[in-house]
Structure 1
Amino acid sequence: MTLLRVAWRAWRVFVHLLRGLATIVWLFPRLTPAQRDLRVQAWSAAMLLRLGVTLHVSGQPPAIGPMLLVCNHVSWLDIIVLHAAHHCRFVSKADVGRWPIVGRLATGAGTLYIERSSRRDAMRVVHDMVQALRDGDILMVFPEGTTGDGITLLPFHANLIQAAISAPAPVQPVALRYLDRHGHTSQAASYVGD
């Protein structure tokens, strides 16, 4: 890819990030939750186009909640990919909420944050997840707790799954796999251990 094409793609991604931020700040307060969900899904699909990523979904995403989705975690790209398939609320490390632009986007999309080093905070987040599930939300967790290579699974940290037991709500597994243009598994998107 030529330098000019890379610069153009980077510019389009940056402008799209700013559009998302403006939407969350000025438009979201006037929208219903269902309208916000549709905006997040459309914004994510448009971001994938700008990044040159094609989404293929096998199976049917859940139409309505409550549901807890559990997924392998490969990359920062996972969140955009999963939102493009179907809006859901993520449970994320608290650091993400403090990141410039991205933190505001994640918070606007309904992300629940957890201080991973605090057991007390894990209990709080499970309580918040139970309430969200009882309200009919679809939640997404990455039980590996970090990113893997996209080929093998890391050990699961299952404490957040307690929310589905307590709510009660069904648990749906989701698998992410990134392919190159020839259909072979690709590790290009992976950020192992991030």
Structure 2
Amino acid sequence: MSVWLPTAPCTPQGCGTHAGPAVGVTAAAARLLTGISLLVTGVLLAPLLSPLGAALRDRLTRRWARALLRAFGLRIRFAGAPFARRGGPMLVVANHISWLDIPLIAAVFPGRMLAKSEIRSWPVLGRVAAGGGTLFVERERLRALPGTVRTLATALSEGSRVIVFPEGCTWCGREQGRFTSAVFQAALDAAADVRPVRITYRTPSGARSSAPAFVGDDTLLASLWRVAKAGGLTAEIAVLPPIPAGSHTDRRSLALDAQTAVASDSANRPASSVHQWVKAIPASASSALTPS
């Protein structure tokens, strides 16, 4: 790995823990099988969504993402500011903990993800990502960064909603990394709003759980099984007020503003103390970007 790439101190051994209840092996296996089945269904149906209108495509994507999270036993809690389903171009930026972050954001903001190129080769998930219009970045090639920014700016200029994890790597959720500023240049170039969101995974008591964390040398299979075994998980997404286009003139101040918003106290409170605009839905990998 290149020395200039962002890194986190988190490891599966030190951070991949869950203080809540655990489910039995049979129930965990059933969750895993159901979840993988939904992923495969997403792969098969993704090409059929392309001809549909944007509103219908978004609605179906949100339903699929929520079903996938519920299949793994997670409750979903939405909190924070109301937002428009569709509108002008928008760069959605979030902290990054797990592969679960992707369907969690899709449950609210269906759009085009920016992900590391290695995800393209992942079994099942890679096909889902590519079929969903994911924009891939070669993190090891610093020279590819300007082209990635241009691609993002073009997508935004065409009216797309683009989702990015600017930390550049996954963290366990107890701490947050610095937001690298490169992607924010695309928002400036395209005159797009920036929408910060905060992702948190919680136990039944409301404490943070790092069982979903996909960090360090973790494998996708080990992470899938750890999530399937964890009982009472809630996936919480706090939608924060947008940063309007034109409010910043340089990418570094824009990145710092978004990072500060995501790390703010109001974003870190349990959802019970934050205005909830959507009722909680009961339960039935390291991606992203290059530094500035």
Judge same fold: TM > 0.5, yes or no: yes
Residue 172 of structure 2, aligned match among 145, 149, 167 = 149
Among 199, 202, 206, the alignment partner of 1:179 is 202
3-state SS in 1 of match to 2:113: strand
Q: Distance in 2 between matches of 1:34 and 1:97?
A: 26
Q: CA RMSD of the aligned region, Å?
A: 1.6
Matched, 1:190 2:213: yes
* 1:139-170 Cα shifts (integer Å, max 9, x gaps): 11111100012121112221111100100111
Greater shift in the superposed pair: 66-75 or 151-160: 151-160
Q: Which amino acid counterpart does residue 109 of structure 2 have in structure 1?
A: H
CA change 1:181–1:114 in 2 (3 A) is same
Deviation track 1:76-117 (CA, whole Å, cap 9, x = no partner) reads 110011111221211000111122211110112111000012
* Unmatched runs of 5 consecutive residues or more in structure 2: 1-22, 217-285, 287-292
Change in Cα spacing, 1:164 to 1:140, as seen in structure 2 (3 Å) is same
Aligned-partner residue type, residue 12 of structure 1: T
In the alignment, what sits opposite 1:135? 158
Query: Which of 143, 146, 165 lines up with 1:123 in the alignment?
Result: 146
Q: SS of 2:98's equivalent?
A: coil
Q: 1:111 to 1:146 in 2, by over 3 A?
A: same
Match of 1:92 in 2: 115
Q: TM-score, normalised by structure 1?
A: 0.92
Equivalent residues in 2 for 1:28-43 (5 A)?
28-43=49-64
Which residue is equivalent to 2:89?
A: 66
Counterpart for residue 103 of structure 1: 126
Q: Which residue of 2 aligns with 1:46?
A: 67
Give the C-alpha shift of residue 11 in structure 1.
1.6
Aligned residue among 23, 36, 42 for 1:20: 42
When you count helix as a share of all residues, which structure comes out higher? 1
Larger radius of gyration: 2
8 Å CA contact 1:122–1:160 kept in 2: the answer is no
- Counterpart of 2:89, as a letter, is P
Please report how far the alpha carbon of residue 62 of structure 1 lies from its aligned counterpart in structure 2 after TM superposition.
4.3
Q: Compared with structure 1, are the counterparts of its residues 96 and 183 closer, same or farther at alpha carbon in structure 2 (3 Å cutoff)? A: same
Query: How many residue pairs align between the two structures?
Result: 193
Instruction: Indicate which of 80, 89, 95 corresponds to 2:103.
Output: 80
Q: Which amino acid aligns with 1:37?
A: D
Moved over 6 A (4+): none
2:33 partner letter:
W
Bigger CA drift: 162-171 or 182-191? 182-191
